[in-house]
Structures are given as structure tokens and as C-alpha cells.
């Protein structure tokens, strides 16, 4: 049996918003958005707000990291999955947990105190850099781009 049909994994601390819910979903041809994040999986208000952004024909699931690791391999081949995580640490946990991630779109990591800005939409600290290095060691392609038609950059060249 083949693995789940994950079209793309995106790191975006905003999770589902207009750019993700419309632009990326349409570009990828996804019919299911899986948000993997422990806090969001239990936040009904945030889930319903994100659902409002998605077109009616697109389904969304909100799973904890553990549940994502446990159920992703049970996905139907008909499910064209766009996997969205809040940060690089969630992405690394999924990869190390056996989720078949070979390509990550790094879309948005907000600036916070103690982080350095490496692009207009991505800021990192030492823990983030270590997680990106680990993903790189695991042969995950790390492509920084905001929208599909933008030319991507390998984030490892910016760290």
C-alpha cells in the first residue's frame, strides 16, 4: 500500500487564512486540509474561524501531532492532502514520527523578540535553526515562498 497523498506541507503560524485557504489549495488541487497542532486541535473557536476561509468543497481536519502521526497513513488515496503546521517544531515532530514529509513550504513565521528576520515573512531563533538543520539532515526539501507563483528559496541558504 502506498502512503498518504500529501501534496505539500506548509509552515505558517497563521495556519488557514485567505492565502492558504484559497491560493494554495487551488494551486495544489487539494481536497483536504489537515492542520496538525496540539493547541488548535482543541480550540473550537479557532477551528470554526478557519473553516469559514475554506471553499465548501474543501474539507478540513484539525488533529494533534500524535493523532496526525497515528492516522495519516489511513488516509484514502482520494484524499489530496495539504498539511499545514504552525511552526518548524511541529513539522519536525511529524517527520520524526513517521509522517512521509519530503518537501516543506516555509510560508510564515512571525517575528518575535529574540528572533532574527531572514526574509520578509520568516523570522527564526536558534531552536528554529536547529529544527531546520535536522529536517535538512532528514532530506526534507525546505522551500521558502509566500505564494505558489513566487520563486522559492532554499531556507538553508538563509540561516
Catalytic annotation, residues: 17
Rounded Cα distance between 58 and 45, Å, is 19
DSSP letter assigned to residue 109: B
Rounded Cα distance between 73 and 83, Å, is 13
Q: Are 69 and 99 in contact (CB under 8 A)?
A: yes
Q: What angle do CA 55, 57, 60 make, to 5 degrees?
A: 75
Amino acid at each position: 500500500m502506498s502512503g498518504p497523498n500529501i501534496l505539500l506541507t506548509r509552515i505558517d503560524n497563521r495556519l488557514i487564512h485567505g492565502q492558504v485557504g484559497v491560493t494554495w489549495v487551488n494551486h495544489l488541487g487539494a481536497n483536504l486540509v489537515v492542520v496538525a497542532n496540539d493547541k488548535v486541535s482543541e480550540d473550537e473557536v479557532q477551528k470554526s474561524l478557519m473553516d469559514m476561509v475554506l471553499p465548501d468543497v474543501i474539507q478540513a481536519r484539525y488533529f494533534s501531532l500524535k493523532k496526525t502521526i497515528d492516522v495519516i497513513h489511513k488516509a484514502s488515496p482520494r484524499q489530496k492532502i495539504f498539511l499545514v503546521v504552525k511552526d518548524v517544531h511541529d513539522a519536525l515532530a511529524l517527520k520524526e514520527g513517521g509522517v512521509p514529509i519530503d518537501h516543506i513550504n516555509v510560508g510564515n513565521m512571525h517575528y518575535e523578540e529574540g528572533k532574527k528576520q531572514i526574509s520578509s515573512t520568516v523570522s527564526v531563533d536558534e531552536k528554529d535553526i536547529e529544527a531546520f538543520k535536522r529536517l535538512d539532515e532528514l532530506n526534507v526539501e525546505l522551500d521558502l515562498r509566500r505564494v505558489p507563483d513566487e520563486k522559492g528559496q532554499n531556507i538553508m541558504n538563509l540561516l
